[in-house]
Chain A
Amino acid sequence: MHEFSVVSALLDLVTEDARKHKATGVTTITVKVGVMSGIEPELFEEAFHVCKRGTVAETAALELIRQPIEISCPCGYQGGIEGFSFRCPKCGETTIRVSDGEDMILQRLELELPD
């Protein structure tokens, strides 16, 4: 259950952003979660609702975007893979670049500013 560690890291980043923009609150937090990021979205959401209490994101909604694996291949192919097979589905090459789907990114924040 490392979702708690990751959520508390998320809240640190959000708090930092809120402070930088002198925000009084946060309405929405959008996180991109790769299918191979090791994060279970349900556990992540649960952990978020526990951990957000007492932070600037206390009333924030969490929006999770599931990101599939994206690769690019020397043959020119760009797109997904089949299952967990990390090779180019077009030419079979295994020396590919994984461009998305393995990480978790804080994409966007809706901040409330003072009147």
Chain B
Amino acid sequence: MPHSDPRTAEEDPNHPSAAQMEEEPAAAAVSSPPVEEDVVMAEAGEIQGVVEGTKPAAEPPSAQIEADEDRIQIKQETKSDIKLENLFDGIDSDEDEFTSSNNAQQEVETAAADAAFELLRIYYQRFFPWRYMFQWLNHSPVPTKDFKHREFSLWLHNDAVMRYQSYTTADLFRKDVLRLMPRRIEIGPVYTADPRDRKTFRNSTAFQPLAKELCFDIDLTDYDDVRTCCEGANICHKCWKFTTMAIKVMETALQEDFGFHHILWVYSGRRGVHAWVCDRKARMLEDHQRKAITSYFDVVSGKQGGTRVNIRRPLHPHLSRSLDILKDHFQQDVLELQDPWKIPERAESLLQQIPDSELREALRKKWEASPERASTAKWADIDALAQTSASSTLDPKDLLDAKQDVVLEHTYPRLDTAVSQKLNHLLKSPFVIHPGTGRICVPIDKNNLDAFDPFNVPTLQGLVREIDAWNEGENGGDAAQDGGGSSQDVRHVVQDWEKTSLKPYIEYFRSFVTALMKDEREITVKREREEEEPEVKVESLDF
């Protein structure tokens, strides 16, 4: 699914309210006063639903919230009850299966909504890794502008989105989240000034996005034309393999080609992954550079029929290396697991990519004779027939090119480019809970990539059960260090997350953050040393 929305990674046009309006950024822009500073600062689609200031999250959904300065109103259908699905409504297209609106169930649902709310509170209080999140974004133990000027966007349960929130410390961040209980937190760029003060700047150059991680978004809905097992928001273990191979290709290229080292892969909660490239150099990239690197990775496009892969020969080293990474996946995860050309129509589309008509006809004849022939066999037929039937016109080089194109089409990463190109694009925070699946958006250990199972990711409900079980087991397990790593006090209380299946994910995140901070320290020291040297002379403008 191509994302027209410039901002959020996972959207569903069928969804109501905030998410739906965001699908029509132009319309939203027209309906809002063009002089609003937000219109200038934010992308067109972001302006509706902006609530300034601080409204309690528990406000009834039927209420009409009027933004104090922005004069943007958020109206909501009058409902007497809080429905469970509404609690997490309208943000992630991933929750589109999450429907149950039977009248008889309403009372149950109301109670369930309260319970869900309570669960969320428990999660933010006891499980969310505040400290590491802070360190991750701050790059230092002491609060810096990297954190203080960072935009957070909080999605409340009444469909309001509070943009341009910022916090001077991790604790204030935590307190505000606990007060507002957002169902989703997004992370935006670091600005030249505190985002909360943005309206005090008359001139727009004084408030500009300055830095943000380079992000990539891979979503399995974009693979619908090559996966046969599932469609849309659904995924299974078979098609998850597409994500795995995409990560391998991206990770290798980001490291080897671009020299990035701090790449965090985060499960988006249902059917995709986000990459956060956190190296300082990546964070400082300007939009045109982000656009360039996105284009560097862009290979498979034009999803409506025709040639999907358009690359020149000789193959760029990035592509020949990617093919090396992908060829085994193609054999096992595509040909065997997906069996993409099993049905005749799909087989025909493969035939269309064969560059020689004699060979194409020979293959067609053979496959029509045994329609159920497996894709693995069909793929092997191409080379076999090319050799034996000795077509007079076949250029082996063309055939090789075409086969490479087929492999890339079925395996090469498909990126939602909108996420990567803009410095001021917001992306869902790691460790947020996916509203549809209840799964936590955990980081993926790339050293153990093949072992990652999206269906085995901790859920909110699961965590609470695990805690109960741990407590019943009389604090079993050894009381290790606390969340920050000051292991001197051996008797320190065991953090709640350590008692659950969330532990390996937070530990992975912690080690990622530690390595990032260490690098950052070295860069800072180096920079300071350089700054002591005489500055490069700025071109004088006088004449």
Whether chain B is bound by chain A comes out as no
Interface residues of B (CB under 8 A from A): none
